[in-house]
Amino acid sequence: MSAHAEAAGHEHHGPPLANRSSRLDPATLGMFLFIASEAMLFGAFFTVYFFVRVVNPDAPATWPPPPYHFPIFVAGVNTAILVTSSFTIHWATQSIKRNDRNGLRAGLVLTILLGSAFLLTQMVEYAHVGFNTSDGAFASVFFGLTGLHGAHVFIGLSLLTIAAVRAFKGHFSAEHHHGLEIPGIYWHFVDVMWIIVYFAVYIL
């Protein structure tokens, strides 16, 4: 048995070191908590939606109340656009993991174009939907939910634009691409929320 005893650790000056678990890195945890708070925000809007539509004693028997109609087909096309954008951002992320910069840039540009197309289509849909917020609670809920989602698409596009600028400047590598991974998670969250909004508001 050796008869020596080692010091417990190195001398450390200044404030104590932050404790970090290896389960999740801080940036991803931050985005996860942000998404959790966003999910609660959407939850509040869905609560209002289901109250107006189902629980409310004065809820209309048909949805939306006559004579209004939701543009199910146009919104369906928009859903396809957003789901496709999930493929392209996934392609961009997988590309940089293989050090394929062209794939990264192409994936990001396509995702931004698809996200912009979604927002433009939504604006056109608003312009031709045939009702406004003053036409009843159902209209307020419709614009509230879809508008809230549209705002999130805009935020996602802003994050992706920053990532794209960095990608074209030569940032990111196979080992270091957090600036893309984190907006990618957010973009998928925005996509998930739209799928729920589309099926809850337009289809059911």
Chain positions contacting other proteins, by CB under 8 A: 1-9, 19, 21-24, 28, 31-32, 35, 83, 86, 89-90, 93-94, 180-181, 184-185, 188-189, 191-192, 195-196, 198-199, 203-204
Cβ proximity to other proteins: between 151 and 195 the closer is 195
- Asked if residue 49 lies in contact with residue 120, where contact means CB atoms within 8 angstroms, the answer is no
Supply the minimum distance, in Å, between the C-beta of residue 71 and other proteins: 17
What is the smallest separation between the CB atom of 7 and other proteins, expressed in angstroms? Answer: 7
Strands (DSSP E) contained in 54-200 are: none
What is the rounded CA–CA span in Å between residue 99 and residue 95? 6
Please, what is the minimum distance in Å from the beta carbon of residue 132 to other proteins?
28
Omega of the bond leading into 67 within 30 degrees of 0 (cis): yes
Give dist(CA 130, CA 118) in Å, integer: 19
Residue 63 or 131 with smaller CB distance to other proteins: 63
CA–CA distance from 81 to each of 69, 75, 128 (Å)? 22, 10, 19
Q: In the complex with other proteins, which residue's Cβ is closer, 83 or 151?
A: 83
